[in-house]
Amino acid sequence: MSNNKRNIFSEKLFRCECIENKEMIEKEWNKCKLSGAILIDVRSIQEFKEGHINGAISIPYYELYKRAKEELRNKNQEIMLYCNTGSRSKRAKVILEKLGYNNVKNFYTL
């Protein structure tokens, strides 16, 4: 399968949906936010300031454990995570799942 056709795939190990470009994440986000989902940009604050998906909140990966307990009170709420390559958002998903969040998706942009 070519890279062009492989825009969306499921990674069973982490049960994530990785979308490889910003436009596709925005499209998915626009569908999900209507049902109360939240979109979290787990990149650094500087990266967030340089550009982010409209409606995303910034919780850098390195602050997630602490801030999740304070800011993400509903553990059943759909949470969409994204970063540039999927590495930080994948680790963030694992952290949230260990904290008891059960509706977390990992997205990334290239």
In the residue annotation, 83 being an active-site residue is answered as: yes
Report how far residue 19's alpha carbon sits from residue 108's, in angstroms, rounded to the nearest whole number: 6
Rounded (10°) CA dihedral 64, 19, 53, 103: -40
CB atoms inside a 10 Å sphere around CB 60: 19
Starting at the edge strand that comes first in sequence, how are the strands of the sheet with 57-58 ordered?
Answer: 57-58, 38-41, 79-83, 104-108
At residue 107, the 3 state secondary structure works out as strand
Among 16, 18, 32, 83, which one carries the catalytic annotation? 83
68: tokens are 């999740």
Q: Which residues are catalytic?
A: 83
